[in-house]
Amino acid sequence: MPIDLDVAIGAQLEPVEFSWTSSDVQLYHLGLGAGSDPLDPRELRYLIDDTPQVLPTFGNVAQTFHQTTPPEVKFPGIDIELSRVLHASEGISAPGPIPPTGTGIAVTTFTEIWDKGKAAVIWSETAVTDPSGTLLWTQRRSIFARGEGGFGGDRGPSTSAETPDRAPDLEIDIPTLPQQALLYRLCGDRNPLHSDPAFASAAGFPRPILHGLCTYGMTAKALTDALVDGDAAAVGSYSARMAGVVFPGETLHLSAWKTDAGYLGTLTVPSRDNAVALSGVEFSPR
DSSP letter string over 155-199? Answer: -------PPPSS--SEEEEEE--TTHHHHHGGGT---GGGT-HHH
Q: What is the pTM of this model?
A: 0.92
Which residues are paired to 285 by β-bridges?
235
Is the confidence at residue 244, as pLDDT, over 60? Answer: yes
Tell me the domains of the chain and their CATH numbers: 5-285 (3.10.129.10)
If you average pLDDT over every residue of the chain, what do you get? 94
Of the candidates 150, 142, 209, 217, the residue with the CA atom closest to the CA atom of residue 182: 209
pLDDT of residue 149: 87
* Average pLDDT for 183-198: 94
Q: Under 8 Å CB-to-CB from 170, ≥6 apart: which residues?
A: 226, 227, 254, 255, 256, 257, 258, 263, 265
Of the candidates 157, 284, 177, the residue with the CA atom closest to the CA atom of residue 220: 284
* Average pLDDT for 148-177: 87
- CA dihedral sign of residues 245, 248, 252, 256: positive
Tell me the catalytic residues: 189, 194
pLDDT of residue 41: 95
- CA dihedral sign of residues 230, 190, 212, 252: positive
Cα-Cα-Cα-Cα dihedral of 5, 84, 277, 229, to 10°?
70
- Say which amino acid occupies 73: V
Write phi, then psi, for 86 (nearest 5 degrees). -125, 145
Calpha distance 137→62 (Å, rounded): 11
Q: Contact 71/259 with Cβ under 8 angstroms?
A: no
Q: Which pLDDT band holds residue 5 (cuts at 50, 70, 90)? A: confident
| 77 HSE (CA, 13 A, CB side) | 18
pLDDT of residue 101: 98
Q: Report CA-CA distances (Å) from 99 to 8, 21, 237, 285.
A: 33, 9, 16, 18
* Average pLDDT for 187-193: 92
Calpha distance 211→217 (Å, rounded): 10
H helix or E strand, kind and range, residue 89: strand 85-93
Q: Which pLDDT band holds residue 1 (cuts at 50, 70, 90)? A: low
Instruction: Return the biggest CA–CA distance within the chain.
Output: 56
* Average pLDDT for 193-210: 95
Q: Report CA-CA distances (Å) from 20 to 17, 25, 129.
A: 11, 8, 13
Is the confidence at residue 71, as pLDDT, over 80? Answer: no
pLDDT of residue 157: 80
Pairing assessment for the beta strands 263-269 and 275-285 based on DSSP bridges: antiparallel
